[in-house]
Chains A and B, each alone.
Chain A
């Protein structure tokens, strides 16, 4: 392992220690907010490993999250399956869903891929309302789902641990040869192919990792909330928040989506005293739009260039 990787690993360690000590100083209200930031970070990283890396933009991540959420909710609530079994089952189901995503990616890319994934999401949204409402709970969904742990502090640690482990693993993954090959696909898929790499296998791998992460996040999310409804999951707003967290933070970097998730969640909370109602989402969207249009590479690259400036100043 080279020197910079070790240095950055130290950064991860520091981040972990600070976040673990945080419950000692902040209120439970803040912890509840941070729990949402952790879920958002998991979803945004899942989006990033697929779209930020390979350039196959997904507008359908709620589809994957919804599959995970509904699988574990139905298994545990309707059929009394214990959650340590229903969560892995949900992750497996999400990976099957990820394969469905993968089929169109063999033929099309860019915007058309994005639209197909959006169509997947909309279809599942309509289906949960119409098909077998006795099982899915129809429009009202399912509530009273078993939770894994109770209370703000245990949930904080649980979600942080999940996010931290997923983040670290993905971050290590993108630094391997596979990770580099994946980002090469974004630049020129044909060139990667002619270099003798099997792009289909590589893409399938990215789709599976993305789906697995979305599955873990989705299953934990539902067991944290204790409820699931089609309106909350398969919503453009939900998709929008995931997308923005990844983009504003810096797509393709894994660390970026985590920064983005914290930034967006904090922004929303910061606006709460000033604007209590729906106005917040209006401002929130405008901030997202301005940041995206003027700095498409996100906060991560702003921080990186700031660090470069600082180190130049020192020497």
Chain B
């Protein structure tokens, strides 16, 4: 039992870290919470479903299409809503929440409200001693870690990545050194959409596709950011593991229905007891 919790907790946490990172990026660059982030996850899942399962395209092509749908929708959110409301964070949050509900209605229109089950990206089950793990979740965790590592390299080593960090640290300072924060915002929103969509493909294969599926990952992402603290990537990674493990422990030992409750209770406790999060530098 302990080994099973350890392995499953670790695998789930990798995916949660990926879900959270796309959400955090927007926050650190634009200082707004994007409540439509869950939609990128849902969109990634549904696009992959259409391409791979309905149209019978190869896995890799479907994956790229899912990613592109995330990029497109991320850019659309920025251009249509966020750019117009830039100096009003509360308006951004409310309008992105409305957008999420609109997209939920759109998904219901196209795919009907009933849930759809998605095939695993990779089939097969691996056994380690008495614990069995699906190849799919193993792939999900592997991809998550690779994407996270690439993202780290991108942010630290490339010019564009450094510009993103510069804007997130000091918007005006970045502007003075010749960086256009608008362009950086555009790149970040596109990137965030892509990360959400990638995570969405795997998230949909381990849960299911349904028009309400955007709420849970959004809350998880928010929880990771809040528990880890704003502006701390390492804090985010640790928080993703705390949440992943807490959830695995509750679902295996207590009851599967309580999965979200623990995460939500954690958000409340952290916000009330230590508003800086575990590793944050800033007051929320």
Chain A residues at the B interface, C-beta cutoff of 8 Å: 55, 57, 59, 103-104, 107-108, 110-112, 114-116, 118-120, 122-123, 126-127, 129-130, 236-237, 240, 243-244, 247, 278-279, 281-282, 284-286, 288-289, 292-293, 296
**A272 to B124 alpha-carbon distance, docked (Å):** 48
User: What's the minimum C-beta distance from B80 to chain A, rounded to whole angstroms?
Assistant: 8
Using CB atoms, name the residue of chain B closest to A286.
B102
Task: Report B's interface with A, CB cutoff 8 A.
Answer: 33, 81, 84-85, 88-91, 93-95, 97-102, 104-106, 108-109, 113, 212, 215, 219, 222, 226, 255, 257-258, 260-261, 264-265, 267-268, 271-272, 275, 284
Once A119-B219, A278-B109, A282-B102 are accepted as A-B contacts, the answer to whether A114 and B93 lie under 8 Å apart by CB is yes
> Contacts A110-B89, A293-B84 given; 10 further ones with Cβ under 8 A?
A57-B93, A104-B268, A115-B222, A115-B226, A116-B267, A120-B268, A126-B257, A126-B258, A247-B94, A282-B109
CB-defined contacts of A123 to chain B, threshold 8 Å = 261, 264-265
Residue pair B260, A126 in contact (C-beta under 8 Å): yes
Which chain A residues border B226 with CB–CB below 8 Å? 112, 115
- Within 8 Å by CB of A108, from B104, B219, B275, lies B275
Nearest 6 CB-CB pairings of A with B? A285-B102, A119-B264, A282-B105, A281-B105, A240-B101, A130-B257
- How far, in whole Å, are A292 and B255 apart by their CA atoms in the complex? 41
Cβ-defined contact, A107 with B272, below 8 A: yes
Among B90, B101, B215, B272: residue with most chain A CB under 10 A: B101
Report how far A278 CA is from B215 CA in the complex, Å: 19
Cβ of A185 to closest chain B Cβ, rounded Å: 14
Q: Say yes or no: A243-B267 contact (C-beta < 8 A), given A104-B272, A115-B222, A282-B105.
A: no
B84 / chain A contacts, CB cutoff of 8 Å: 293
Q: A119 CB to closest chain B CB, in angstroms?
A: 4
* Complex contacts, B258 vs chain A, CB 8 Å: 126, 130
Residues of chain B within 8 A of A118, CB atoms compared = 219
Bound Cα distance from A216 to B2, whole angstroms: 49
Q: Which residues of A contact B91 (CB under 8 A)?
A: 292-293, 296
Contact partners of A110 in chain B: CB under 8 A = 89-90
A289 touches B275 (CB 8 A): no
Residues of A with C-beta under 8 A to B93: 57, 111, 114
Nearest CB on B from A192, distance (A):
19
Q: Decide: B98 and A288 in contact? CB cutoff 8 A.
A: yes
Taking CB atoms, residues of chain B closer than 8 Å to A292 are: 91, 94-95, 98
